[in-house]
Amino acid sequence: MSNPTAAILIIGNEILSGRTQDVNVQFIAQSLAGLGIKLQEVRVVPDIAARIISAVNELRASYDMLFTTGGIGPTHDDITSECVAAAFGVPWELNEETDREMRERMGDRYNAARQRMATMPRGSVPIKNEASIAPGFTIANVHVMAGVPRIMQAMMKALEPSLPRGERIEMRAVHGFGVMEGAIAEGLAAIQARFPHLDLGSYPFKRDGAWGVALVAKGTDLSAIEDAAKQATDLIAAQGVEPIQGEPVSS
């Protein structure tokens, strides 16, 4: 396996209640794909300490790295940082450098609630970023980020240079409007069998009231991917439909 693995843990009552549409998973997933890191699992858990601690410990043990989002603000419901300290069994203490910088930049507004954002598990490295004065932090293979998308995105950008990289994961897609999955399933399985080291996916969609299917070949062997995509294109053409190359439309 030449690709490092990763998981995402979303700490978010607001996702579980349906109040908020998550957009962080797709952003992180695309960032990781660009680095050749395989995202292998996502979990969403509520703002409950025991649930956060056990999820952090399970996921950091199972994958090469873990990214968390949410729960690092100044309010009473922001408990991620304490929970990560508990998961690692280390003290949760003021990060001197962050405390100094936040005090300088915030002046009188730097109150007790905000000082909680300078408090981290011992041994953490702050994730300084362009979107917020309060940083995220990295401890071992766990990267703790904000839940607000624009701040999370700035933290991810700040992290990227230090992340391990793998072989780039390439993708080629072709779609056929009016093609039903059931009509091409057998032919598609035959293509998958010829390219066992690729992931060949089939994703139905509906657009302008008509069904179609997107066929996606994915892996690290670009020449095989292009061969497989060519065969998928022929499969769609054999249905009497003009194959459309490129980014598949979403459903």
User: Smallest gap, in angstroms, from Cβ of residue 124 to a second copy?
Assistant: 20
218 binds a second copy per the rule CB under 8 A:
yes
CB pairs under 8 A, 24+ apart, for 151-156? 152/24, 152/27, 152/28, 152/69, 153/27, 154/129, 154/130, 155/127, 155/129, 155/131, 156/27, 156/28, 156/31, 156/67
Task: Using the minimum distance from each CB to a second copy, give the nearer residue, 38 or 123.
Answer: 38
Distance CA 75, CA 244 (A): 49
Query: What is the end-to-end Cα distance of the chain in Å, rounded?
Result: 31
Region 118-147 residues binding a second copy, contact defined as CB under 8 A: none
Among 43, 103, 128, 230, binds a second copy (CB under 8 A): 43
Among 35, 140, 148, 244, binds a second copy (CB under 8 A): 148
* Short-list 81, 5, 83, CA closest to 41: 5
Task: Please work out the total of residues on this chain that contact a second copy, with binding judged by CB under 8 A.
Answer: 73
71: left (phi over 0), alpha (psi -120 to 50) or beta: left
Q: β-strand 170-177 against 244-245: which pairing, if any?
A: antiparallel
209 binds a second copy per the rule CB under 8 A:
no
Task: Using the minimum distance from each CB to a second copy, give the nearer residue, 64 or 78.
Answer: 78
19 binds a second copy per the rule CB under 8 A:
yes
Query: Per-residue x/- mask for a second copy, residues 150 to 189, rule CB under 8 A?
Result: x------------------x-x--------xxxxxxx-xx
18 binds a second copy per the rule CB under 8 A:
yes
224 binds a second copy per the rule CB under 8 A:
no
- From 12-20, 86-94, 121-129, 158-166, span contacting a second copy (CB under 8 A): 12-20
| Cβ atoms within 10 Å, residue 209 | 5
- From 15-23, 87-95, 221-229, 236-244, span contacting a second copy (CB under 8 A): 15-23
